[in-house]
């Protein structure tokens, strides 16, 4: 099936979902499945506890299983499953960030696409109730991490249900997209529309950001690899000094990177297995933070261009069949000309023609407002998602 056929199939599936059950989307793998923790299931309504594995749930974005706990780190990563029953809850593991109000993980649960729980992870173990019903219901349950990896992670220890039979993973979608980015992709501050306020995981929601919304518009599975303040050659700086600790290329091939840990385990120690999620399209949206370092200095811009080309080679190695879009613009187009040069030089030097540049419209704060630290509001993200979805449709149709 070619890309155009995948897009048509994905869009048809998404249209059907709008009239019935709908939830989060995306896909990645985990370790070898385990059997349910509890008793063998029957067709009677019984209480059961399930391990979080590929036999029972669909993985959304990058996930990793460690000592029986499925870890979610990156924005909008999670799991999804279907069940028929009267209740469901999830038991979570909180990491070392739980003592910090600004950095602890934010987690949400959905039933048939409707958000029914929105929690900050404050305990080393806590249970979140998802739904209860007096009668048996067939539902789709989606569990998502709303905040980004750098500050915190969250583990899913078990899924607890009263059901008829087992829970089961939802189906994969035909079209798969990976988004690589910074705070824009993470949904930084989108729930705090005061430009004078600053970062908090409590106001960060990747499902309201352009990347997640683009995947929803296209009916696609997704994976987000994004870190606020990060860039290609430098993280955000106010003094013109390069911030090398915040270079996305250095962490792209890891499962994730986080300052938090859990009983000695840190997600940064895990390499990512690229066979677990094979995207048809990769969108890179990096350069907003680099611009704080490069300014208009031609030598520094040249450094950015060369580093970007090197990163493109890495992305191509890890995703040999994907079309790569190099995007920029929602929070400024300062390095857009440089990205045009990146694509032109990379294509000429490598012979790789499945790469292009794309400029997103700069946010209009007068019309749509600003979120924390001048970041895009949900309305601005909606515009960017429409633009990106249209660009992906155009590329696939060619």
Give the pLDDT confidence of 51-65 residue by residue, as tens digits: 999 999 999 999 999
User: Based on the domain organization, do 366 and 279 belong to the same domain?
Assistant: yes
Residue 303 located in a structural domain:
yes
Confidence check: pLDDT of 317 > 80: yes
Confidence of residue 18 (pLDDT cuts 50, 70, 90): very low
User: Based on the domain organization, do 229 and 113 belong to the same domain?
Assistant: no
- Output the pLDDT for position 43: 73
User: Based on the domain organization, do 110 and 181 belong to the same domain?
Assistant: no
Calculate mean pLDDT across residues 308-327. Answer: 98
- Output the pLDDT for position 205: 98
- Output the pLDDT for position 394: 97
Confidence of residue 173 (pLDDT cuts 50, 70, 90): very high
Task: Answer with the one of 146, 169, 192 that is the final residue of a domain.
Answer: 169
Calculate mean pLDDT across residues 7-23. Answer: 42
Residue ranges making up the domain that contains 258: 176-397
Task: Answer with the one of 116, 136, 169 that is the final residue of a domain.
Answer: 169
Please provide the average confidence, as pLDDT, over all residues in the chain: 92
Angle at 88 between CA 85 and CA 94, to 5 degrees: 165
**Helices H, strands E: what count in the chain?**
8, 15
For 255-282, how does the pLDDT look when each residue is reduced to its tens digit (9 = 90+)? 999 999 999 999 999 999 999 999 999 9
Confidence check: pLDDT of 312 > 80: yes
Calculate mean pLDDT across residues 110-117. Answer: 98
User: Based on the domain organization, do 50 and 198 belong to the same domain?
Assistant: no
pLDDT greater at residue 308 or residue 35: 308
Torsion on CA atoms 301, 302, 307, 308, rounded to nearest 10: 70
- Domain CATH for 339: 3.40.50.1110
Residue 160 located in a structural domain:
yes
User: Based on the domain organization, do 285 and 205 belong to the same domain?
Assistant: yes
Structural domain count of the chain: 2
pTM here is: 0.90
Calculate mean pLDDT across residues 301-306. Answer: 98
Residue 12 located in a structural domain:
no
Q: How many CB atoms sit inside 10 A of residue 91's CB?
A: 17
Closest by CA position to 258, among listed 271, 267, 245: 267
For 118-151, how does the pLDDT look when each residue is reduced to its tens digit (9 = 90+)? 999 999 999 999 999 999 999 999 999 999 999 9
User: Based on the domain organization, do 122 and 191 belong to the same domain?
Assistant: no
Residue 14 located in a structural domain:
no
Confidence check: pLDDT of 325 > 80: yes
Closest by CA position to 175, among listed 281, 16, 273: 281
- Domain CATH for 33: 2.60.120.260
Confidence check: pLDDT of 295 > 80: yes
User: Based on the domain organization, do 245 and 389 belong to the same domain?
Assistant: yes
103 contacts 97 by C-beta, under 8 angstroms? yes
User: Based on the domain organization, do 128 and 224 belong to the same domain?
Assistant: no
DSSP per-residue string spanning 213-273: HHHHHHT-EEEEEE-TT-BSS----SSS---GGGBGGGTTTBS---S--BTTB-GGG-B--
Residue 110 located in a structural domain:
yes
- Residue entry with tokens 């000429």: 348
Residue 216 located in a structural domain:
yes
For 222-248, how does the pLDDT look when each residue is reduced to its tens digit (9 = 90+)? 999 999 999 999 999 998 899 999 999
User: Based on the domain organization, do 24 and 125 belong to the same domain?
Assistant: yes
For 354-380, how does the pLDDT look when each residue is reduced to its tens digit (9 = 90+)? 999 999 999 999 999 999 999 999 999
DSSP per-residue string spanning 129-142: EEEEEEEEEEEEEE
């Amino acid at each position: 099936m070619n890309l155009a056929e995948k897009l048509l199939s994905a869009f048809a599936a998404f249209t059907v979902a709008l009239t019935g059950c709908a939830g989060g989307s995306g896909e990645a793998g985990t370790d070898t499945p385990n059997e349910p923790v509890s008793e063998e299931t029957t067709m009677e309504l019984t209480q059961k506890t399930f391990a979080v594995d590929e036999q029972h749930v669909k993985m959304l974005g990058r996930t990793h299983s460690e000592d029986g706990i499925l870890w979610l780190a990156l924005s909008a990563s999670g799991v999804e499953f279907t069940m028929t029953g009267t209740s469901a809850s999830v038991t979570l593991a909180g990491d070392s960030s739980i003592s910090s109000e600004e950095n602890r993980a934010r987690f949400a649960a959905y039933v048939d696409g409707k958000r029914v729980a929105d929690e900050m992870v404050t305990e080393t173990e806590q249970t979140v109730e998802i739904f209860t019903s007096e009668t048996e219901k067939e539902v789709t349950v989606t569990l998502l991490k709303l905040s980004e990896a750098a500050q915190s992670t969250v583990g899913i220890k078990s899924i607890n249900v009263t059901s008829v039979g087992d829970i089961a993973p939802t189906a994969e979608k035909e079209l798969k997209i990976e988004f690589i980015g910074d705070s824009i992709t993470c949904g930084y501050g989108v729930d705090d529309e005061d430009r004078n306020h600053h970062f908090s995981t409590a106001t960060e929601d990747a499902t309201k950001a352009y990347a997640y919304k683009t995947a929803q518009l296209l009916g696609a599975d997704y994976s987000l690899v994004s870190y606020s303040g990060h860039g290609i050659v430098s993280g955000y700086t106010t003094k013109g000094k390069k911030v090398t600790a915040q270079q996305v290329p250095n962490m792209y091939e890891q499962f994730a990177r986080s300052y938090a840990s859990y009983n000695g385990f840190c997600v940064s120690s895990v390499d990512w297995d690229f066979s677990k999620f094979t995207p048809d399209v990769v969108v890179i949206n990096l350069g907003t933070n680099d611009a704080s370092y490069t300014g208009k200095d031609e030598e520094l811009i040249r450094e950015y261009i060369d580093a970007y080309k090197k990163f493109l080679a890495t992305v191509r190695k890890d995703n040999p069949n994907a079309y790569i879009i190099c995007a920029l613009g929602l929070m400024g187009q300062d390095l857009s000309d440089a990205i045009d040069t990146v694509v032109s030089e990379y294509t000429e030097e490598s012979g790789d023609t499945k790469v292009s540049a794309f400029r997103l419209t700069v946010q209009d704060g007068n019309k749509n407002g600003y979120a924390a630290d001048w970041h895009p509001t949900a309305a601005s993200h909606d515009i960017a998602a429409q633009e990106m979805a249209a660009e992906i449709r155009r590329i696939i149709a060619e």
